[in-house]
Amino acid sequence: MDYNGLKRILRELREYKQRKHSRDLLDHKIAAAGAPPPNRIISGIELQISSLQNTNGDIEDQVIDVNTLHGDGCRQFYKTKFLRQSEEGGEIEVAFFRKLDEELNKVNAFYKDKVEEVKQEANHLDKQMEALVALRIKVKNPKQYGSNSKRHRNSAVPLTSNKSSAADASGNEPMDLTSENEQHPREPSPGASEVNPTHIKNPGSDDREVLNIYDYKEDPLEVLEHVKIKNTLESPISTIKGVFKDSREEELSFGKEELKRVEERLRAVFIQFYHKLQLLKHYSFMNLSAFSKIMKKYEKITSRGAARSYMLIVDNSYLGSSDEVTNLLERAEATFIQNFSNSNRREGMKSLRPKAKREKHAVTFFSGFFCGCSIALMVAIILRIEARKLMDKEEGAQYMENIFPLYSLFGYITLHMLMYAADIYFWRRYRVNYAFIFGFKKGTELGYREVFLLSSGLAVLALGGLLANLHLDMDSSAEKYKTLTELVPLGLLILVLAITFCPFNIIYRSSRFFFIWCLFRCICAPLYPETFPDFFLADQLTSQVQALRSFVLYICYYGLGEYSRRQSKCHSHGVYNTLYFLIAVIPFWMRFLQCIRRFCEEKDVKHMCNGLKYFSTIVAVIIRTAYELKKGKTSWMLLALICSAVATTMNMYWDIVVDWGLLRTKSKNKYLRDRLLVSHKIIYFAAMILNVVLRLAWMQLVLEFKLSTVHKMTISTIIAFLEVIRRGIWSFFRLENEHLNNVGEYRAFKSVPLPFSYYDEDAEKDD
């Protein structure tokens, strides 16, 4: 509902009423001084009489007349006739009710279409449950049913059942959802040999019968002869099978692993279906509230009693009178609790309605504490270096050349986490549904405070380790421990990795495992289907090439014993140079494979163009790395400049035009896009300019500067930091564009493929 559009019309009407009231007061003052014109006297009397009449409820019917009309497809739409159009300002009120009718008809039609969709989906879920129940019988109790045991088909909790539905062919009514029907089962019908609901043991329990399954007139296992398992290519093995097989379906094997896989997928389908029903119910409630609120505003401005008449029409419309969504919600809850939570309502509702995450004051306190400690440690390190004048001594410069790259890894990670925390803050401020886009489970997503806490804590560890290194290395009494102090960076790295992969439920385990799973899917590209978190994470890794090279430096520095000699001669090792090449290419190669996978699945040329963009970047990175290792070669420098220029140009265009959706020449916001979340347009132009500048800064590494090794290393680190900042800016506008695309296409939930496929459905598709 366009609530703001209706408010604008009411604002215009209020301003007109205020001007009219001021004019009437002026006429009254003139009348007090002398005889007013007769026509104005009559107008004033009519105004007073009209205002008195409007306070009477009986006059409501004379303000508006709402007609219910029938259009194509037996659909109803509403048209309001304003009966006071001849009065001053009546044309504005006519425009208001015309707009109000448009919104009611639009909302009503949209809601009805969506309800029809979920009803069809409920029918499909009923069939899926039939197949699941039969599969459970086959796996858990294969001898319980034989070909001679015929049963009447009656769902214990069918999604599409109706309390007022007619009796079935044998005279039995469908089982209701009320507790009375559960406590008092129906009497057997005369025509059925066995009619008591059949129970099987829950897969997770040996002695508790909790699953009240479908009764069948025929063999319940017969349904398994009409279904196949859908292969959604969600694992490397299924992907490889899908490449060599034309069909994406496989026959049932009736194994426990197969049953477990089907139950997990159908459980996820039910949760998404329930979430969809909740959104529909919320949609109905919010729109009904909006209509009520806007009519109250209209009454307040015009002093006309039209709200009751119009709201009666709204309440009787499909939007206000349909209870199908509520019934489906109740049946979905009962089915899920009975079949997927061991009949435990509390556990079932935890899955269907997870609680929102509560903010903790301790997070804010420790974030501020760690931030203050980080600043203090940074000042102490700078003072320590200046007091000892390390950079003025050859030994000190060599020491910093050895130790600084090891600690810069933590700097890259900390800065990236700070940018992510800032992105979350602005996503929330501008109401970007980042949790839905990333697919976070409700109640487990990290807020900007939690991410800032982690980044500041990591900064304290890294800066504390660097300060300890400086103190121990410069203390003459600790000379015999100097070799041991070189292991401090390695200890910090091991600690960070141990926390990241820790299996215990500490330090946001669900978020850590989500990150690890996405990283694993990126590494295994293109064997897994690509989701938004996968290629978003791979894009983030393309901005962390220097951090990845720092991992290789750790391997060389500690694996080859360079730390004990306090020398950094890793570039003299062939293995290190090979890894130095490969590690820089891996993130772009992962994105290239992801684009190829998406092109094969969606047949969209855009993904192939995106893949070519990453391939050009791979070529540029390889040539630049070769030039970096073969210093002084002019031919390599020219080739690196050309390749970097081509890759940078393609990346800049793709960032702004495709990823951000900007530079639209025919947009109502010139050179931007039609819909913007940030009200200040200058922000978008500044972001585009900054993206271009920081992309060009990436090319500066190709140029040969006559600088010392420490200064070159410092410049490389600064440019790497700038690239991380650019990626953080890119992330905000990338998700903003994705959110607006979701809103424009009404994507408010994730689609989960059904586990079973029926033969008759496949035949209909072929026809």
Mean pLDDT (the chain, rounded): 78
Q: Residue 448 has what pLDDT? A: 94
153 pLDDT band, cuts 50/70/90, is very low
CB 489 within 8 A of CB 407: yes
DSSP H helices in 169-255: 179-183, 236-244
Mean per-residue pLDDT for 680-684? 94
Least confident of 322-331, 403-412, 573-582, 655-664: 573-582
Is residue 366 exposed (0-12), middle (13-18) or buried (19+ Cβ within 10 Å)?
A: middle
Q: Residue 234 has what pLDDT? A: 62
Give the length of the chain.
767
Helices (H) and strands (E) in the chain, counts: 26, 7
Whether 53 shows a pLDDT value over 70: the answer reads no
Strands 76-82 and 227-230: unpaired
Residue type, 124: H
Convert the pLDDT of each residue in 186-200 to its tens digit: 334 333 333 333 333
Whether 464 shows a pLDDT value over 90: the answer reads yes
Which helix (H) or strand (E) segment holds residue 230: the answer is strand 227-230
For 254, how many CA atoms within 13 A lie in the half-sphere containing its CB? Answer: 11
Measured over all CA atoms, what is the biggest interatomic distance in the chain, rounded to whole angstroms? 111
Helix/strand/coil (H/E/C) assignment for every residue in 436-486:
HHHCCCCCCCCCHHHHHHHHHHHHHHHHHHHHHHHHHHHCHHHHHHHHHHC
Percentage of the residues of the chain whose pLDDT score is greater than 70: 75
Q: Residue 251 has what pLDDT? A: 58
Q: Residue 634 has what pLDDT? A: 74
Q: What is the dihedral of CA 123, 127, 132, 133, to 10 degrees?
A: 100
637 pLDDT band, cuts 50/70/90, is confident
498 pLDDT band, cuts 50/70/90, is very high
Q: Residue 277 has what pLDDT? A: 92
Closest by Cα among 184, 209, 183, 212 to 197: 212
Top pLDDT among 563 and 516 is at 516
Helix/strand/coil (H/E/C) assignment for every residue in 240-278:
HHHHHCCCCEECCCCCHHHHHHHHHHHHHHHHHHHHHHH
Top pLDDT among 369 and 475 is at 369
Give Cα 763 distance to the centre of its chain. Answer: 35
Q: Residue 41 has what pLDDT? A: 40
- What's the CA gap between 588 and 562, in Å, rounded? 30
Mean per-residue pLDDT for 279-298? 91
Which 3 state secondary structure label does DSSP give 237? helix
CB 419 within 8 A of CB 727: yes
Q: What is the dihedral of CA 16, 22, 24, 29, to 10 degrees?
A: -170
- What's the CA gap between 507 and 362, in Å, rounded? 13
Look at the pTM and tell me if it is higher than 0.85. Answer: no
Top pLDDT among 529 and 677 is at 677
